[in-house]
Structure 1
Amino acid sequence: MIETLNDTFFVQNVNFATFLKANGTKGNILDYIITDSSDRISFIEPRAPLGNINQGHIMMKWTYKIEELQSKNHRISSFNYRKADYISMNSVFESTNWGLKFRDLDVNQMYENFLGEYHKVVEKYVPVKINTIGRVKPNWLNRDIKKLIDKKNKSWLKCRKTKFSNRKMVKQYDETKKLCFKEIKKAVRRYERNLAKHCKSNPKSIYAYMNKKSKVRDSITALKINDKIVTDRLEIAKSFNLYFKSVFTRQEIGDPPAFSLRTDKIFKINPFKSV
């Protein structure tokens, strides 16, 4: 059965015994949780057996990830550095007394202080642009198929205006729709065949195509910390931050090391002048 599931691209997610024998020992895996992807199930926990306490099927508790609905179009704001006022930005940075701002601070505090000043300058002198991102165009879509899809949509609108009473228009729409679906299938097969042909020389392309076709994104939805299951995203992020923070060497608070001045020349960059 497991081989059949693998051949049909299904996944069996239970990896522990689900039946408790009379003597208290665990039996075989008799209960399955079958999904189309292993990313659908984030956590499976065995519970008490059904019926008799010493014998029976074990209850299971799991978290099932449902596909998130995303809007077709969404906006992303970003800074437009091409139109930034670099002259004013350089003037602000040069007039800032960094020695006074960094006094009695360690390296991390200096870095945080500098980032704060930098973000203030960026927000003041760099304009914001808004990009509208729509549905991603499939790689198999070419100009001919795009024209055929537009023709099908226009034909459908004409039929809708006549409430599908004009048989000639309806027949024309059906023919265009069948031809459109046929050409789309050919284009998809042609593109997938080309991916399979070059999968060894260009494996990234086939993995990117598989990720696009996947309905569920692989993400950390649950974390086990001290025998406790954490599902809150903020708590998971804090746990990772604490763990990574424990790896770094803690610097003693004090003055930063002094570096000898190797040159007295200052190099200024003019962003409006090509080198």
Structure 2
Amino acid sequence: MSADQRTILLTGVNGQVGFELARGLQGLGKVVALDRAGLDLSDLGQVRRVVRDVKPSLIVNPAAYTAVDKAESDVGAAMRINGEAPGVLAEEAKRLGAALVHYSTDYVFDGTKDGAYVEDDAVNPQNVYGRSKLAGEQAIVASGCDHLIFRTSWVYGTRGKNFLLTMLKLGAERDELSVVADQIGAPTWSKTIAALTANVLAQSVTGPRKWWPKNSGAYHLTASGSTSWHGFAQEIFDLSGLAKMPAVKPIPASAYPTPAARPANSCMSNEKLIATFGLRAPDWREALQLCMTAR
């Protein structure tokens, strides 16, 4: 199918990743980009109606319930948006003969592994958010539709609510910040996620007829390298240009209790992504520097 005949349905266009995808997917087809008013994943009937009206050949779904701590007391909404809605999208994609790109999380793992997680490692989410995202993954696989599930981690950018913007706000207000130093992961810029997604999808356009059945599955997609939340915060301030830098004090996660448990190790290997598509994400520091200059 040529690009002028291809329709791409993009959800969550106002979110961190959706905003970047709306720009990065240009040239791959006609992008129908919808915000929550146009496609509310909590309304499963609307999800079916919109997909049937748009008749896309590709659905890209970055929309999600992302309030990790709130999900502990809002289980129904988290499961509906993160678990059930992706299943509906997948069922409708299967019915249309379309493909689905979906985003998941490091939180499907329990964080006890010594070393980076690979796609086939046992899942064991420790919070409601992680369980809801895993349910979405499982529903997509069960549908039998052609799909790519990209698991990412510690997403940040120049819009929305994220660690980068929180640190910059608090750093301008306080002389000292206490930041968790015993949780490790890969801070991943939303624009990196969008760029790699677009590059993969460009390969699907020029690839052989059986590209989707051959490549369907889960892939880890994060920045290269790893750090702690404390290390991430320190790098943010080193690049920030703030006239007065706050002191960043390392603390254990036990000193900063949250409603939702977080994995101590969120590191995920990107080797499958590299081997399959020939794409390697930049080091997290390099991406952060680009993001900071783009503010």
Normalising by the smaller structure, the TM-score range is under 0.3
Higher relative contact order by CA 8 Å / sep ≥ 6: 1 or 2? 2
Q: TM-score, normalised by structure 2?
A: 0.19
